[in-house]
Every structure is written in structure tokens, then in C-alpha cells.
Amino acid sequence: MTLFIDVNTLTNLISKVGLPNFMQQLLDYMQSDFKKWEQFDKSARTAAHSSEGVIELMPIADQHQYSFKYVNGHPNNPKNGYSTVMAFGAFADVASGYPLLLSELTLATAIRTAVTSVMAAKALAKPKVDVMAMIGSGAQSEFQAIAFHCLMGVNTLRIFDIDSKAMDKLELHLKQYPKLTVIRCKNAEHCCQGADIITTVTADKNYATILTADMVSPGVHINGVGGDCPGKTEISAELLTLGKIFVEHEPQTRVEGDIQQLPPEHPVNAIWQVIAGKSKGRDNLQQITIFDSVGFALEDFSTLRYLYDLATQFEIGERVELVPSLSNPKDLFGLINTSGAINNASVCA
């Protein structure tokens, strides 16, 4: 039987361990998998683009386990009552192809995206960080704020969004974290003042310039999260050329990330090599580091692997017969032949 985790099951799992612990444990899984980067069969995601958004499939496997995620990105969805991003995924045994887990990944993707940002910042930011600027207060914002507060010790968060109601929502939710000071800013430039880390999490599907060179001080680390598909950017090309850029899977990021604005020969660095201790992150305290985050399948693999282990540990989740259980594996037809589904075998349409 295949383990099934729906939204309610996932929120139950999170409540069992607490969100900060859930994030920390997921970070441990993710760092472990990134250190084994070379062992994975990797590819850029397959995308179906439309004028309204994108639907993507994200597969990856090592010698033992396989996963994929179905995910969309439709910036106009909230106007129609849908989330901008929705996702589900599967986790399977490579040796047999048997699906071990089918899970919701909308909420889980929001958490894993924030955890990925922290993973990159731990590898690239200055040793001591206290202030983060965050441009964008949509569905991803709380997760980024909580992850950086609880996992990296960020105690001051400067926020800005063109939608004042989105900032209201973010401030309300973050009141649960009394040690996190939230400063509401009048514009993006004001937001970035005094920041050790700048995180951009906007959703519009267009060539936008959210962050420019004059807004960034020496030594700042930038997490560019919102620029994640062709024709969608946040960071100015000038600023990109001033920083040391790190990416997940370069073939994918060249097409989807902020670096789509740069010539294909512009140098970038693999974040996995820094996490694995194979290369250096920032070169000095004055250097600007940039994580051009587009989201990669390995992060979802880590998430599904963690969810499967956690649900198994707490014995939470429904067991569903997603694929047939056959007494004779060669007799698939027998499932309908004995079920009464065939009422008149002598009549063919």
C-alpha cells in the first residue's frame, strides 16, 4: 500500500514536531542530499508555459529512490480564489518502481523553499547576521521570515510590498514570534537599508527589477527567490555582475533564473559544492553573494524523503491502493474479470 499525506495530515505532522523543528530537520535532510549531489540523476524540469503561468514536472533519482513534483505558478490565481503555487508529489522505490508515498506539496514547497534559502545563506552570508530585508509579503513570506529567525538568528525583519494588505497579513502572523522585530518600510530602497541579507519573494510573471545595485551595501547576501521561470526576474543585470553568483542546477537556472539576463558565458558557482565543502562560498566580508534560487527537484526529493520518514515514525497518513496488489502479477485483467465490471462478455461495442 502507498502512504498518502494530504494537507490535513501534513499540518498534523508539523504540529507533532513544531514548525521550527520541522524546518531544522528538513534542513538536515536537504544538506545531506546536497552533499551527495553527484549521485543523483538530474535534469531540468519540464515546463508547460502559458500566458497565465506555468505547470511543471520535476523528477530526480539516486540509486535507491525516485521522486517527482507537479507544481504550477500562476500569479493571477488569487483573483480567482486559487493559490499562486499548488503542488503534489510522489516518492518511489527505484529497485521495484513501487510508489511509497503520494503527498501534498503546496504547503511543503513553501517550507522547503524557505529552508533552501537558509541553507544557501548559511553557506554564503557573513558569519554574523541579524537584519534581513524582505521584498514581497505574499504566501512565501512568513515561511522565509520564520526560517531565518529560528534557524539563522535573524532578529530584525524589514518588509515591503506594494500591497499594504499583504504586509498587514505578514505582520499579524509574525506577532507569534515576539523576539522578531518587524519594521514596515515605505519602499524597496528603504527596506534594504542596514540589511545583512536581502530576500526577494515577488510573484509577477514579467521582467521586473525589484533590486538594483544602488540598494545593496558591500557584504550583503541576496536570496533571489521570485525569479524562477523564463521571462520572470527580480535582480538587475548590473547588480548580478557585481556579485558572486551561486545556483542549484545550472542548465535550469540559465533558462529560468535572474541570470537569464546575462550572457551564457557569465561565470556562476554551484551551491552544492560549497555545502559539500568542495569549494569556497564568499571570498571576503565585503563581497556581495547572490543565490539565484529557482527551486530544484533535489529539494523536493529531500522533502518527500523527510515526510515519508516522519509519517512512518508517527504512524500518520492513510494507506491507499494506488497501484494494484495482485496474487498473480501477470493477471491484471483478473481485477475487473472478478469484480463484476464485465456484465456481458459476449457483447462488444
SS3 198: strand
Q: How far apart are CA 291 and CA 294, in angstroms?
A: 9
Catalytic option among 196, 228, 258, 292: 228
The number of C-alpha atoms within 13 Å of 308 and in the hemisphere containing its C-beta is 21
What dihedral angle (degrees, nearest 10) is formed by the CA atoms of 123, 274, 287, 293? -70
Q: 239-272 burial by CB neighbour count: b if 16+ within 10 A, else e?
A: bbeebbbbbbbeebbbebbbbbbbeeeeebbbbb
User: How many helices (H) and strands (E) are present in the chain, helices listed first?
Assistant: 11, 17
Q: How far apart are CA 198 and CA 154, in angstroms?
A: 12
Name which of 297, 296, 303, 298 is nearest 10 in CA terms.
303
Active site residue 228: yes
CA–centroid distance for 273 within its chain: 19
Three-state DSSP string of 251-274: HHHHHHCHHHHCCCCCCCEEHHHH
Q: How far apart are CA 80 and CA 74, in angstroms?
A: 11
Q: How many CB atoms lie within 10 A of CB 201?
A: 26
- Contacts of residue 338, Cβ cutoff 8 Å, sequence gap at least 6: none
- Contacts of residue 292, Cβ cutoff 8 Å, sequence gap at least 6: 224, 227, 235, 240, 245, 246, 247, 253, 257, 258, 259, 268
Q: How many CB atoms lie within 10 A of CB 312?
A: 13
Catalytic residue numbers, as ranges: 228
